[in-house]
């Protein structure tokens, strides 16, 4: 496999920018290198393309790379020669060399695809059934909510070191009785 151009679609999991190269780590933990310059000090085609792609973290890339064994090691150098962003997310391409089977779509766009489609029954409209009873909220419930909010706010002041532990109850009362003019 050495010195042969391989093609693969990868998910970019991590990018490490070094002096002279960019390391791209895919979703499987494999590292690929894009060299910035050739021996004649001109930018490589892959690096120029990389610069034009913008933020590629988490995106799918279609790459062409060569792979060379590292002497006295189980590892490999993977140098990217070509790359391009896969439009629209993964476009049905899995991690690795194997594309997924295309989805069979009918000509009528209102029809679902034929791949393992199970229709979801429509839900009953429960929008109006979940409305709170405002008469119940008035009075005691409204007071309970305001008291709980005052305790939560005083607890936040305590947690952030703005008040001392012995001042907590006093601040609960102050916040609970606070009136906006």
pTM of this structure: 0.48
Q: What is the CATH number of domain 6-85?
A: 2.40.50.140
Give the mean model confidence (pLDDT) for residues 159-180: 81
What pLDDT does residue 96 have? 44
> How confident is the model over 115-150, as pLDDT tens digits?
555 566 666 655 555 555 555 656 666 777 778 888
Instruction: Provide long-range contacts, Cβ within 8 A and 24+ apart, for 89-98.
Output: 89/60, 90/9, 90/11, 90/60, 91/60, 93/9, 93/60, 93/62, 94/9, 95/9, 95/10, 95/11, 95/26, 95/27, 95/28, 96/8, 96/9, 96/28, 97/7, 97/8, 97/9
Taking residues 149-158, report their average pLDDT: 84
pLDDT digits (tens, 9 = 90+) for 78-127: 999 999 988 765 444 344 444 444 444 444 545 544 555 556 666 665 55
So what's the pLDDT on residue 73? 78
pLDDT, mean of residues 16-24: 91
């Amino acid at each position: 496999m050495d010195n042969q151009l391989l093609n693969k679609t990868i998910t970019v999991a991590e990018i490490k920018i070094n002096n002279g190269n960019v390391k791209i780590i895919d979703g499987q933990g494999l590292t690929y290198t894009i060299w910035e310059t050739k021996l004649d000090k001109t930018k490589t085609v892959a690096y120029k393309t990389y610069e034009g792609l913008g933020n590629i973290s988490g995106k799918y890339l279609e790459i062409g790379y060569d792979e060379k064994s590292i002497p006295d090691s189980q590892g490999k150098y993977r140098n990217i020669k070509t790359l391009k962003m896969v439009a629209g997310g993964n476009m049905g391409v899995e991690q690795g060399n194997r594309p997924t089977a295309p989805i069979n779509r009918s000509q009528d766009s209102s029809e679902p695809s034929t791949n393992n489609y199970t229709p979801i029954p429509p839900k009953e409209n429960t929008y109006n059934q979940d409305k709170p009873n405002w008469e119940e909220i008035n009075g005691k419930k409204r007071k309970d909510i305001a008291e709980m909010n005052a305790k939560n706010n005083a607890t936040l002041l305590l947690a952030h070191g703005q008040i001392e532990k012995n001042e907590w109850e006093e601040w609960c009362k102050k916040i609970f009785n606070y009136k906006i003019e």
